[in-house]
Structure formats: C-alpha cells, structure tokens
Amino acid sequence: MLTVKVEKLGVCVCTVMALLAASGSNRASATEQNWVQLAVHNFGEPINTMWDEGELSFADDGTMVYCSARKDLAVAPGDPKDLYIATFDQDTGSWSTPVNMGMPVNAAPATDVDPLRLGDDREPWITGDGSTIYFKSDRLATTSPRNANDLFVTHLVDGTWTTPELIPSPISTDAGNEHCPAILQDGQTLCFASRREGGYGGSDIWCSRQDSSGRWQEPVNQGSNINTAAEEFHFSQDADGVVYFTSNRPGGFGGQDIWGATQLGENTWSPAVNLGPRVNTDSADMCPALLPDAETFSWFSNRSDNNFGSFDIFWTNKTTLSTSP
C-alpha cells in the first residue's frame, strides 16, 4: 500500500516558507496542520499566465523547467508550446522571470517539411544537478510512417544548452508516440509513456536502463499495478520510493487524476492509490513533480478554483495527499 512519509515540516523553498510565516508558523506537526499544509495553492506570477502552463520539474537548486503556450515569448508564430526555465533566488525567496529556452532547444514550426511538425516542445525533466533535460518534441515527426513525437535530450555545456539529440530506438519509435520522460531516484532508470505494442492499452509507462556502453536497453512495461487499459503517463518519484503518475482509469474523480504507488523492486510496484480530492478534481489534474524540499508536491490542472488561465501550475504540502484508496 502507498504510504506517504509524514514528518515535521522543514521547508527550504522560500516561496513556501513565506506563506508559512504569513500563517503564523513555519513549522507544524502533522497533527497541527495549518492552512498552508492543508490548502492547494496556485504558483502565481511570474510562472502562471493567461496562457496554458504545464509539465514541470525541478533541479536540486530550485531551477524550474516547464512548458507554456504563452504567445508573447514564443520562439515563432504559431508555436503551440515551448520550454521555459526559471532560476530560484534563495535571497529573495522567488523564481526569476521565466525565460524561453530558445532555439535550438525549442523548435519552430516546420509544417512545410511535414504537417505534424508544429513546433510542440513540452514535458521537460531536469536532472538534480541541473545539467541535463529530457523532453518530448515533434521536430522529427512524420506523417508516413505516422510518428507524432519522440524523446530528446539536451545538456548544459559551458553555460549553453546543446542542440537536442534524439534518444534513439528502443526508446523513441515510429509507432509509440513516446512522451513524458523522467529519471527515477536511482539516477539511472529512464521512464516514459508509450503506445508501443505489448502494453495494456492506451499510453503505458515503460522503463529502461543503460548498458555498460551507454545504450538504452529494451524498455520494460511497468505492469498491471501501474498500467491499465486507460491512459497512464508521467512518473515522478520521491526519495521514499513513492512514484506519482497520471491516469484516467476508473475510480478517479473525473478527467485525469494523479495516483501513487510504492516501489517494491526493479520494475515492481504496489497497487496504485488515488491521491484524493485535494489534488484531484473533476477537471484534468496531471504531471506531478516534487520540489527540492521533498515535502512540497506540484502539478498542473485546469481546475476552476484560483486559476489564472485554462491550465495553471499548483502546489500543496505532501501531508494533504491521501494514503489509501
């Protein structure tokens, strides 16, 4: 069964600390939770805007990478989504104004080459040291064979992000429409969603490790405790081995919900548990991420309460997550 570790709150992310201080306490036990620990909060400006904001992840220093459909900073007209980066200032306790990562990380539309190449770059996953970002892109999409998107990786070298490289087969395929890459806590296992053959239906979550030569091994389906005939995608694992992911399987609150499962071994998980009504709504609640303090849980949603636009990024304390079905 999923268990969520509950300890005294010791938050290192200053945005959250400021809210705790405003409530009259910056430390509270699980039995004396204040409004900050119990509530769901909009990330606010400058991260959320009138446009859609979505999938996000954090480096250990608080650097935030996410995607947005904002039109004022897009790399090219008609670009549906780009990757943005914002650094965290420990002195001011806030994230910097987000910066479009620009080309070549973000690709401009190339529908003259193939109509599927819309310039859609999203679902970034940044490593803890902040030096590598995995993401999904349609920059090599093809109509025949039909391949809507693949997985790519870029590295920070001498202060500049390198031209993204395709993560080749057996990770990216023509048939799988791979998306939502993420690295588990072991720092070696790449997990992603794919519609490739051998799954349970819809998008399933698969994982792979590199061999001694650096080649990714044949991905392993994560099994029936994770995958169903519905849609499953976007793993995010905490330090206790609990993995959080998105699914529209039966038993949720409507739309997409976020679920959790505990790792029991390599490619083995406990039965998934819905995270409950504070996080999940009858709207689309998706793509969880953990902040560096390990106690703050974030995701994006088009929930109607406290929303800047259609999809915004939200956060809550992990103590609000349900621990039973």
Residues 3-59 pLDDT 10s: 433 232 223 344 443 433 333 334 444 456 676 677 899 999 999 999 999 999 999
- Rounded distance between C-alpha atoms, residue 34 and residue 298, angstroms: 18
Residue 169: predicted pLDDT? 96
3-state secondary structure of 175: coil
Q: Where are the chain's structural domains?
A: 14-320
- Rounded distance between C-alpha atoms, residue 321 and residue 232, angstroms: 19
pLDDT tens string 126-138: 999 999 999 999 9
- Rounded distance between C-alpha atoms, residue 139 and residue 134, angstroms: 14
Is the pLDDT at 81 greater than 80? The verdict is yes
Q: Which of 29-38, 170-179, 309-318 has the lowest mean pLDDT?
A: 29-38
pLDDT tens string 285-306: 999 999 998 899 999 999 988 7
**Can you say whether residue 71 is alpha, beta or left, with left for phi > 0 and alpha for psi between -120 and 50 degrees?**
alpha
- Rounded distance between C-alpha atoms, residue 90 and residue 29, angstroms: 25
Is beta strand 285-290 parallel, antiparallel or unpaired with respect to 273-274?
unpaired
List % helix, strand, coil for the chain (3-state, nearest 5).
5, 35, 60
Q: How far is it between the farthest Cα atoms of the chain?
A: 60
Residue 94: predicted pLDDT? 84
Residue 305: predicted pLDDT? 83
Residue 32: predicted pLDDT? 65
Residue 31: predicted pLDDT? 52
CB atoms within 10 A of CB 250: 8
Model-level pTM? 0.89
Q: What is the mean pLDDT of residues 260-280?
A: 95
From 3.30.1390.10, 3.40.1030.10, 2.120.10.30, 3.30.530.20, which CATH number describes the 14-320 domain?
Answer: 2.120.10.30
Q: What is the mean pLDDT of residues 185-196?
A: 96
Q: Which of 104-108, 187-191, 309-313 has the lowest mean pLDDT?
A: 309-313
